Amino acid sequence: MPRLRQVPRGEADAEVALPLYNLLFGARDPVAEPGTATGTPGDWWTVFALSPDTLRHAAQGFSYYRSPKRKLDPVLRELGQTWAGWATGSQFVFSQHCKSLRGLGVSEEKIAALPTWQTASAFDAKERLVLAYADRLVCHQGRVPDALFAELKAAFSDEEILELTYITCLYLMHAVMSRALRTEFDDRDDPIVEVPAPEGFDALDFLGGKRRE
């Protein structure tokens, strides 16, 4: 379950949340009867509905990146978004945008190769450049070498680079928030925990130390 309260249909804001509920869930109460057409629980929407202004702002971001006014090729855009999900460890963002790539006709070979794009032969030069830049945005918090940016400038217009930067960083934010709030497929326990030692194990004996008196 998400870490924040979900808003049931009866409490949903009539101007912002309810139209989105109708679009995604039909007449169902998404809290009592969760589930979307893409197989997600749908609790991202019911949590964001706590703040109609926040939900509106986020939904406008979805409209922005899908707009036909965008200069950037949608496949390249989705590569940045999908890498943001993978690199941040968001199962939700990664899984959803793998589906988006597939919907744009991207091959299964490329989708499967995304986690190892650095050594994969499936991607062309522009795709690898986009992934290298997305990696610098997500994993290095925007620390982009001049040489890499020069390659971007040679391959893309300034408008395309701005859109790629904005959309990739937007989905870094979504990935981080989804993990923090444990929404959708990110409702998972952290796998990095201490594994208990066998009964009778003595750490000091193992390390050759001495006990304090």
Instruction: Quote the longest CA-to-CA distance of the chain.
Output: 73
Q: What is the pLDDT of residues 93-152, one digit of tens each?
A: 999 999 999 999 999 999 999 999 999 999 999 999 999 999 999 999 999 999 999 999
Per-residue CA distances from 19 to 8, 100, 115, 213 (Å): 13, 23, 36, 69
Residue 61: Cβ within 10 Å count: 16
> What pLDDT is recorded for position 159?
98
Buried/exposed 177-208: b ≥16 CB within 10 Å, e otherwise: bbbebbbbbbbeeeeeeeeeeeeeeeeeeeee
Is it the case that residue 210 has pLDDT exceeding 90?
A: no
Q: Determine what percent of the chain falls in helix, strand and coil, rounding each to the nearest 5.
A: 60, 0, 40
pLDDT tier for residue 211 given thresholds of 50, 70 and 90: low
Considering only residues 57 and 199, tell me which one the structure prediction assigns the higher pLDDT.
57
- In this prediction, residue 207 carries a pLDDT of 64
Give the separation between CA 39 and CA 190, rounded to whole angstroms.
22
Residue-wise pLDDT for 168-191, tens only, equals: 999 999 999 999 999 999 999 999
pTM, whole model, 2 decimals? 0.92
Mean residue pLDDT of the chain comes to: 95
Q: For the stretch 40-52, what's the b/e string if a residue is b when 16 or more beta carbons lie within 10 angstroms of its beta carbon?
A: bbbbbbbbbbeeb
Encode pLDDT of 25-47 as tens digits.
Answer: 999 999 999 999 999 999 999 99
Half-sphere exposure of 176 (CA within 13 A, CB side): 9
pLDDT attached to residue 130:
98
Domains located in the chain, CATH noted: 9-63 (no CATH), 71-183 (1.20.1290.10)
